[in-house]
Amino acid sequence: MKNVTITMEDSVADWARLEAARRNTSVSRLVGEMLAEKMRRDGAYERAMREALQFRSIPFERAYLTRDEIYAERLDRFR
């Protein structure tokens, strides 16, 4: 584990102390857990984005139907 010095506004530090006390942990551990959670979420998002961008649609066996082919059956009824 690495020790890191961070700088934050007084109001943020006060909130962090209260939140850490509420969770019965240290400010250092609280910040570490928050960063680890953000890392997991970002990693999951990036994985999902890569998978979505790699999505390939199912290829059609032949080209799209023409307008005449689509309506051929209906038109044949009236001939």
pLDDT tens for each residue of 7-23 = 999 999 999 999 999 99
pLDDT given for residue 79 in this prediction: 64
Structural domain for 38, as ranges: 10-77
User: Distance between CA 14 and CA 12 in Å, rounded?
Assistant: 5
Q: Which residue has the tokens 């609280």?
A: 30
Q: What is the pTM of this model?
A: 0.58
Domains held by the chain: number = 1
User: Distance between CA 2 and CA 20 in Å, rounded?
Assistant: 19
Is 4 within the bounds of a domain? no
Is 22 within the bounds of a domain? yes
Is 55 within the bounds of a domain? yes
Q: Is the pLDDT of residue 42 over 80?
A: yes
Q: Is the pLDDT of residue 50 over 80?
A: yes
Number of alpha carbons in the 13 Å side-chain half-sphere of residue 38 = 6
Is 3 within the bounds of a domain? no
